[in-house]
Amino acid sequence: MCHIDNQPLSDVDYQQIKMFNVLICSNLSGKTYNLIWACFSQELQMNSLYQVHLQIAKLSHVIEHTYDCCVNSSCCCFIACFASLNACPYCKEPHYKSDGWTPLQTFHYLPIGPRLKVLYLNDKFSELLQYHGTLDLDSATIDNVFHGDHYHSLL
């Protein structure tokens, strides 16, 4: 198997992918992962959570964006004209912890553009995504949503 740069995956790549899969499938918290890493990193040849995320981002070409946001139900994202505020303009909750620079809450965002690009770079998913383009829309047989009257009324 290769990653999207057509370079073969290394043993370390496979290890990182498997660890990331464990994280995702088990809903393991970052705090728990870091505790396991601190206790067993040498025996299990584990990388830090930060290193795992960095490697997955590198392999997938999908970079996570992190934004400071209001701790109270995320009513404000501290970007653009709100970036320099020390408190939420809506609920007045503070932006930072008592150290004055660590945000109380962050929002993690995976941009859709790179995610779609990666899907089209994968041969299997690229073929699946082209399904609609291969259909005979004038077919007399109705065997999926694209042959229905409602879909045709939208064209």
Positions in the binding site for Zn ion (CB under 5 A)? 70, 72, 75-76, 88, 90-91, 93
Looking at the Cβ atoms of 17 and 88, the one nearer to Zn ion is 88
**Among 130, 137, 133, 126, which residue's Cα sits nearest to residue 146?**
137
Looking at the Cβ atoms of 32 and 74, the one nearer to Zn ion is 74
Token reading at 72: 């109270």
Residue 69 CB, shortest distance to Zn ion, in Å, is 8
Residue 70 CB, shortest distance to Zn ion, in Å, is 3
Looking at the Cβ atoms of 4 and 75, the one nearer to Zn ion is 75
Residue 98 CB, shortest distance to Zn ion, in Å, is 18
Radius of gyration of the chain (CA): 22
Residue 107 CB, shortest distance to Zn ion, in Å, is 12
Looking at the Cβ atoms of 67 and 146, the one nearer to Zn ion is 67
CB–CB of 64/53 below 8 Å? yes
Helix residue ranges per DSSP H, 6-138:
11-26, 30-44, 49-60, 112-121, 123-129
Packing angle between helix 30-44 and helix 49-60, nearest 10 degrees? 90
